[in-house]
Structure 1
Amino acid sequence: MPGDGGKIAVVIPALNEAEHLPATLASLREGGALIGEIIVADGGSDDATCDIARAAGAVVIAAPRGRGAQIAAGVAASREQWLLILHADTVLAPGWCVGVRRAIASGKCFAYYGRLRFASADPRARIVEKLADWRSRFLGLPYGDQALLIPRALLDLIGGMPFLPLMEDVALARALRRDRLAPMDVIAMTDASAYMRDGWFMRSARNMWRLARFFAGADPEVLAARYRR
């Protein structure tokens, strides 16, 4: 049963995340004995990402560049029966350990997502957060920056992590379906620099357009290339 595992493996895909990774790893210290392993799946960083991860006690593995492939490599290298997939620029707010333990203790074969918060006092951030909550609850489409807790048995059941460079979180949510997704009492505090740079509503509109194109069958490689510009 999924609830039988007492520990989690934290899987973090990373690429040149030396600026953000220290805070992300620091937020995991609260987990204590709950965390069996932290695996940073690196896509070829040329900054201090790998050194920072090792210094914090994480296992660093080399993975093909692309978030889906990196997460899949991290999952394959892990041992625990519960997996917490976490972006390198996402900090878990204090108290997250309690929320994760409750989800595991439920004994349900569900995937659980956190509540998105941006590291910004801008009131527009609160609007985007509410839209993310609505998207997650009513469309069954939580994004990767919300953190995802999933039992290995369920991930195996749906065929594993999609090998996509972008939209891997959406593809995973679609494979899980709404009836196997549930919120957990965990706040995922995510870097807001991209929204501050591009504009809160412009960035959100671009994300929705990208999502629509993905649903319409656009090549994820093309979407990823344009996303990185």
Structure 2
Amino acid sequence: MKPLSVVIPTLNESRSLPLLLADLARWPWSMQLLVVDGGSRDATVNVAHLAGAEVLSSPERGRGQQLRLGSANARENWLLVLHADSRLNPQWPEAVSKVINDPDNASQAWTFDFQVEGDRLMLRMLERAVALRSRWLQRPYGDQGLLIHRDLLIKAGGYQPLALMEDLDLVMRLNGQARIRQLGLPLTTSGRRWSDRGVLRVAWRNARLRSRWRAGEDPVLLADAYRASSISSRTRKHNDAAAVPAPNPDAGRSSPHRDQRRD
């Protein structure tokens, strides 16, 4: 069985990371586990150490820089790149091992099917749209994971140290050199950003950011816009919750003073 290097970029993922690490523990063969941290202020690094991961500290924040550092330090020929808020299907070891043990697959890249936690109808429609985009346009994004041979990654130019759009940047370069295929299993991503702003708003924001990136706008400015919109949505959600009046424990009780005025 060929060994595997897993690369996970992190930033304040102490809640999500343990779940992904538990999923990865299902791999029964040799694995190099690399967590590349972008300056977490929570317990992310401690969680990674406790799981036996090699932890690298990225000098700059941003997935592009983190993934570039992680892939450069990967020892094995096959790399599996995952976001920290992902959950793997229990059958993932069988699907991945089948791919990496076939030498013919080294010339292709592989991704999981996009799945978002939650039961809203709009999420199911989003998943179908992503499936069509991934299959027909060969445009899977980072939250679908990426299984790729080192030689193909190097041939495509590797991850660039971009503040945003590092996944789309790599996929577009891969499109001219290799076919991107599906592993046939879902990779479930956290639904937090979709629930905070709403599916349509997030999808529209992401589409606008991709359009601006293709037009040549600075990824640093796009990353700032992305973070600003995320902070705005969390603030709005907090304010909405704070605006709900607290329940009155005396509600429904008759006031003796009010009764006296009524008499």
- Same structural fold, with TM-score higher than 0.5 when normalized by the shorter chain: yes
Answer with 1 or 2: which has the greater Rg.
2
Number of positions where the alignment pairs a residue of Structure 1 with one of Structure 2: 224
Confirm or deny: 8 A CA contact 1:100 1:185 kept in the other structure: no
Cα displacement (A) at 1:141: 1.1
Cα displacement (A) at 1:185: 2.1
Deviations for 1:193-227, whole angstroms, at most 9, x for unmatched residues? 10001111111111111111111111111111111
TM-score normalised over the length of structure 2: 0.82
Looking at structure 1, the residues matched to 48 and 203 of structure 2 have their Cα atoms a distance apart, in angstroms, of: 31
Looking at structure 1, the residues matched to 42 and 164 of structure 2 have their Cα atoms a distance apart, in angstroms, of: 22
Amino acid paired to 2:63: R
- Unmatched segments (≥5 aa) in structure 1: none
Question: Tell me, what secondary structure is at the counterpart of 2:83?
Answer: coil
Deviations for 1:66-115, whole angstroms, at most 9, x for unmatched residues? 10110111111110000000001011111011111222234221110110
Looking at structure 2, the residues matched to 128 and 28 of structure 1 have their Cα atoms a distance apart, in angstroms, of: 26
Cα displacement (A) at 1:38: 0.6
Counterparts in 2 of 1:50-129, with a 5 A limit?
50-63=45-58, 64-106=60-102, 107-108=104-105, 109-129=107-127
Confirm or deny: 8 A CA contact 1:69 1:163 kept in the other structure: yes
RMSD: 1.2
Runs of 4+ in structure 1 deviating by more than 3 angstroms, as ranges, are none
1:222 matched residue in structure 2 = 221
Looking at structure 1, the residues matched to 53 and 187 of structure 2 have their Cα atoms a distance apart, in angstroms, of: 20
Question: Tell me, what secondary structure is at the counterpart of 1:30?
Answer: coil
Question: Tell me, what secondary structure is at the counterpart of 1:11?
Answer: strand
1:145 matched residue in structure 2 = 143
Looking at structure 1, the residues matched to 77 and 13 of structure 2 have their Cα atoms a distance apart, in angstroms, of: 27
Higher relative contact order (CA 8 A, sep 6+): 1
Looking at structure 1, the residues matched to 23 and 121 of structure 2 have their Cα atoms a distance apart, in angstroms, of: 25
